[in-house]
Chain A
Amino acid sequence: MRSLLGLLRKEVQHIRRDPRTLAVVLMLPVVQVVLFGFAIRTDVDHVRLAIVDPAPDETTLAMRSRFTSAGVFEVKAVLQRLEDLEPLFQSGDIQEGVVFERDFAAKLRDGDAQMLIVTDGTEPNTASLLQAYAQSVVFAYQRESAGVGRSSPGGLAITAQVRTRFNPTRESSNLFVPGLMAFVLTIISSLMTAISLTREKETGTLEALLVSPLRPWSIIVGKVFPYLVIGFISAIAVIVEARLIFHVPMRGSLLLLLADALLFILASLSLGILVSARTSSQRVAMMGAALATMLPNILLSGFIFPVESMPLALRLLSNLIPGRWFVEIARGIMLKGVGLEYVWPQSVVLVVMSLVLLTAAARSFNARLE
C-alpha cells in the first residue's frame, strides 16, 4: 500500500511538472464540446434552390413565390434551360432544382402538367428531406388553388397525430451534445493513459518500476488513478457546458450521471492502459489509441448514426465500444429523466469492461516481467 502511494505521488508530480500538457488535457474537452455542439447538427434549412422556368406564366410565378416565401428555401438562381442545372449541382452551389415545363398554366388547366424536382442525392438523408419540403410546397399550392369541393383521392383518410417524446422541438443540440460528451471524454481518457507506460519503456525507467516491490496490479492502478481525477473534472466541466451553453435538459439525477461518467472514464482509461501495456513505442501506442478510439467512437457509438440502422454484425460490434453505452446513459438521464432502474444494464457493462481491460493490461504486463 505504501509503495502504491509512492507511485501515485510520482505520477502526480509527472503531471504537475508539465502544466502545459495538463492545461491542454483540461481545455480540450471543454473547447471541443462548444465547437462541435454548434457543428454537429442535422437540421435542414436554408436549402439552396434553383428554379428552371423556360416560359414564366401566372401559375409558375405564383408557385415560385411560394418557394421563396416557404422559409426553408433560398432561391439561388432562376434559369431558362435544364442543362444549366448540372454545373450548379456539381459545384455544390445548389442542392435542389425545381423544373417547370413550357405552357405550365395551360397544361395545368388540361390536367396534365408536369414538374420535375431534382435533388442532389449524394447525401441520401438530406435528399429525402429536400424532396419532402418541395413536395409539400407544391401540395399546399394545389390544395389552395383547387379550393373547396374537391375531395382527396380515395375518399378515406387516416391521420397521424404525432407526439415526439423526450425532445419535442427536435433540437439538434439536445440530441448531439450528450453524445458529444461521451465522444470527447472517451478520447481524452484513452489518450491520457495510452502512452503512460510506453513512455517509461522508451526512456528506460520502467525497469526501475519492475524491480521495485510493486505488483503489476499496483502499477496499473497507480497509472490510472490520477487520470481518473482529471477525467472526472473534465466530465463535470462538460456537463456544466451542456446545461449553460446548449440548455440541454437535465431531467434525471445529476448524481447518477456523474457516477456513470466516472465509470465511463474508468473504462476509457482502462482501454488506454491496455494499449500502453501491449505496445513498445509511443508512436505505436498513439496510433493504436487513435485508431481504436476516433472513428469507432464517431461511427459505432450511436452518437451521430443510429445503432439500429447498422447491419447486425456492426450492432454486435458496437457493444464493445464503451462510448455506445455512455451515449445511451447520458441521453437517458438528461433527456428522458430515467433512473438507475433503466440504466443499470449499461452501467454494469461499463464496470465489466473496465475490469476486463484492466485485468488484460495487468496480465500482459505480467508477461513482460518474466
Chain B
Amino acid sequence: MRRILFLAQAEILHVVRDRATLAQALVVPIVQMLVLANAATFEIRNTPTWIVDLDRTATSRGLVNRIAASGHFEIIGTTASLEVADESMLAGDATLVLTIPHDFEASLVRTRHADVQLTLNAEKGSAAGIVQSYASSILASYAAEIGESAGLLREAGPTAAGLVSRISPGVQIVQHTRYNPTRNYKHYMVPGILVALVTLIGTLLTSQNIAREKELGTLEQLNVTPITRGQFIAGKLLPYWGIAMVELAIGLTVGVLVFGVPVRGSIVLLFGVAAVYLLVALGIGLFISTLVSTQQQAMFVTFFIVNIYLLMSGLFTPIDSMAPWVQTVSQVNPVRHFVTISRAILMKGAGVQEIGRPFAMLGVFAVVVLTVAVRQYRKRTA
C-alpha cells in the first residue's frame, strides 16, 4: 500500500509541477464546457430566409409579416426574382426560400385554397425538416386567422396556445414533453460535454504516462524496484482518477450554477457510477500506454479511441439513429453507458434499478480492463 502511495505521490508532483498540464487538465475543460455548450443545439432560430413575393397583395404581405414575427426566421432579403434567391441558396446564405405565386390572394378568395412554395437547403442538415414544420404551422395558423377575420370561420373551440391543438372536432391531443419541458438543449448537452472532456483529458494523461517513462528511460528504474505489477498500475491510476473526479465535480457544479442543469436523481449515485466509469476510461489509457513505445504512438491511438468514444456514444447524435450494427458495437463503448446513465440520473431522476444494466456493464468493463492492463505491463524492457 505504501508503495502505491509513493508512486501516486510522484505522479501528483509531476502534474502539479507542470503548470501548463495542470491548467490544461483543470481549467481549459471548464472554459470549453462553458463556451461549447452554447454551440450544441439543433434548435432552429433565425433561419436565413429569402422571400420571393410575386403576389404583392395585402394577404401575401400579411404572410410575410407572420413569418418574420415568428422568431424562427430571419428575412435576409425580399426579391421578385427567382434567380437572385436561387443564387443566395447556392452561395449557402439562405436556408429557406418562400415563393408566393402571383395569384396567391386571388386563388384564396376564389377557391379558398392557395399554394406557396418552400425551397429548403438540405445542405443545412437536419435543420431542413424542422424548418419545414415551423413554416407549415405558420401557414396553417395564418390560413386560420385570415379565415376567421373574413368571417369564414364558424364556431371554433378555444385553443390553448401551443399545447392543445384541436385538429378536428373530437380528439384533443395533449402533448407532454417529459424531463425537458422547456426543450433546453443545454440541459441535454452540458453533462455530455463534461463527460467528453473528462474522458479526453483522463485518457490522454494516462496513455501518455508510461510511454513517456519508456522514452525517458525512467521506467527501467521503476522496474528494478520491488513494486508489483498491480501496485504499479494502481499507483499510476489513482492520481489521475482523483484529478478526473475533481474535474467532474467542478464541471457539474458549474453546469448546475451557470446552465441550470437539473439534478433530479441522487448525486451520490452519479458519483458512484463516475468512480467506476473512470476506472474503465483511465484503465484503457494505461493499457494503451503499456502497448506503445513512444508518446507519439500513444497519442494517435488515444485519439483514434477517444474519437470513437465520443462520436459513437450518443453524445451528439442519438444512438437510436445509428445503423443497427453500430448500435450493437456501441455496447462495448463505456462512454455510451456513462452518458446514458448521467442523463438518466440528472434529467430523469432515475434510480439504481433503472440504470442497473448499463451500470453492471461498466462494472464488468472495469474488472476486464484493469486485469488486462496489469497483465500487459511487463517488468522488463523489450
The interface of chain A, by Cβ under 8 A from chain B, is 18, 20-21, 24-25, 28, 31-32, 35-36, 38-48, 87, 89-92, 95, 108, 111-129, 131-132, 135, 138-139, 142-143, 146, 150, 152-168, 170, 172, 175-176, 187, 191, 195, 199, 202, 279-284, 286-288, 290-291, 294-296, 298-300, 304-306, 308-311, 313-314, 317-318, 328, 331-332, 335-336, 338, 342
Closest Cβ of chain A to B354, distance in Å, is 4
The distance in angstroms between the C-alpha atoms of A310 and B212, with both chains bound, is 40
B112-120, B268-276, B367-375 - interface stretch: B112-120
The distance in angstroms between the C-alpha atoms of A81 and B126, with both chains bound, is 35
Q: Are B321 and A41 interface neighbours, CB within 8 A?
A: yes
- Is B193 part of the contact surface with A, judged by Cβ < 8 Å? yes
Kindly supply a per-residue 1/0 record for chain B positions 116-158, scoring 1 wherever the CB is within 8 Å of any chain A CB and 0 otherwise.
1111111111111110110110011011101110101100100
- Is B226 part of the contact surface with A, judged by Cβ < 8 Å? no
The distance in angstroms between the C-alpha atoms of A168 and B129, with both chains bound, is 11
Q: Are A128 and B130 interface neighbours, CB within 8 A?
A: yes
Q: Are A165 and B188 interface neighbours, CB within 8 A?
A: no
Closest Cβ of chain A to B14, distance in Å, is 9
Q: Are A153 and B144 interface neighbours, CB within 8 A?
A: yes
Q: Are A291 and B139 interface neighbours, CB within 8 A?
A: no
B31-39, B227-235, B237-245 - interface stretch: B31-39
Closest B residue, CB atoms, query A300: B39
Q: Are A199 and B147 interface neighbours, CB within 8 A?
A: no
The distance in angstroms between the C-alpha atoms of A290 and B207, with both chains bound, is 13
The distance in angstroms between the C-alpha atoms of A32 and B258, with both chains bound, is 34
6 contacts between A and B (CB under 8 A): A24-B297, A24-B301, A36-B311, A91-B354, A113-B171, A157-B114
**Given contacts A42-B126, A282-B295, A310-B41, are A123 and B318 in contact (CB under 8 A)?**
yes
- Is B83 part of the contact surface with A, judged by Cβ < 8 Å? no
Q: Which residues in A have their C-beta under 8 angstroms from that of B179?
A: 89, 120-122
Q: Are A21 and B297 interface neighbours, CB within 8 A?
A: yes
- Is B250 part of the contact surface with A, judged by Cβ < 8 Å? no
The distance in angstroms between the C-alpha atoms of A288 and B347, with both chains bound, is 32
Q: Are A118 and B321 interface neighbours, CB within 8 A?
A: no
B5-13, B42-50, B277-285 - interface stretch: B42-50
The interface of chain B, by Cβ under 8 A from chain A, is 18, 20-21, 24-25, 28-29, 32, 35-36, 38-48, 63, 89-92, 95, 108, 112-130, 132-133, 135-136, 139-140, 142-144, 146-148, 150, 152-153, 156, 165-181, 183-185, 187-188, 193, 196-197, 200-201, 204-205, 208, 212, 215, 294-297, 299-301, 303-304, 306-308, 310-312, 316-318, 320-323, 325-326, 330, 340, 343-344, 347-351, 353-355, 357
The distance in angstroms between the C-alpha atoms of A172 and B322, with both chains bound, is 10
Select B171's contact among A92, A108, A187, beta carbons within 8 Å. A108
The distance in angstroms between the C-alpha atoms of A250 and B42, with both chains bound, is 27
Q: Are B112 and A166 interface neighbours, CB within 8 A?
A: no
Q: Which residues in A have their C-beta under 8 angstroms from that of B117?
A: 160-163
Q: Are B299 and A286 interface neighbours, CB within 8 A?
A: yes
Select A165's contact among B45, B121, B142, B347, beta carbons within 8 Å. B121
Select A131's contact among B90, B175, B344, B354, beta carbons within 8 Å. B175
The distance in angstroms between the C-alpha atoms of A32 and B142, with both chains bound, is 47
Q: Are B121 and A127 interface neighbours, CB within 8 A?
A: no
In the A-B complex, the 4 residue pairs with the closest CB atoms: A121-B177, A167-B122, A124-B183, A154-B147
The distance in angstroms between the C-alpha atoms of A159 and B108, with both chains bound, is 11
The distance in angstroms between the C-alpha atoms of A80 and B41, with both chains bound, is 36
Q: Are B91 and A342 interface neighbours, CB within 8 A?
A: yes
Closest A residue, CB atoms, query B357: A91
Q: Are B326 and A35 interface neighbours, CB within 8 A?
A: yes
Closest B residue, CB atoms, query A108: B170
Closest Cβ of chain A to B77, distance in Å, is 15
**Given contacts A295-B193, A309-B43, A332-B92, are A90 and B349 in contact (CB under 8 A)?**
yes
Q: Are A288 and B123 interface neighbours, CB within 8 A?
A: no
Q: Which residues in B have their C-beta under 8 angstroms from that of A282?
A: 208, 212, 295-296, 299
Q: Are A39 and B303 interface neighbours, CB within 8 A?
A: no
**Given contacts A25-B300, A121-B177, A168-B122, are A305 and B130 in contact (CB under 8 A)?**
no
Q: Which residues in A have their C-beta under 8 angstroms from that of B171?
A: 108, 113-115, 138, 142
Q: Are A41 and B304 interface neighbours, CB within 8 A?
A: no
Closest A residue, CB atoms, query B203: A290
Select A116's contact among B43, B90, B174, beta carbons within 8 Å. B174
Closest A residue, CB atoms, query B136: A160
Q: Which residues in A have their C-beta under 8 angstroms from that of B304?
A: 24, 28, 31-32
Known: A24-B301, A40-B311, A117-B173. 14 other contacts (CB 8 A): A124-B185, A138-B167, A139-B167, A154-B148, A160-B117, A163-B117, A164-B120, A170-B122, A282-B208, A286-B299, A306-B127, A336-B90, A338-B90, A338-B91
Q: Which residues in A have their C-beta under 8 angstroms from that of B330?
A: 39
Closest Cβ of chain B to A223, distance in Å, is 14
Q: Which residues in B have their C-beta under 8 angstroms from that of A154?
A: 143-144, 147-148, 152-153, 156
**Given contacts A165-B120, A286-B295, A336-B123, are A138 and B200 in contact (CB under 8 A)?**
no
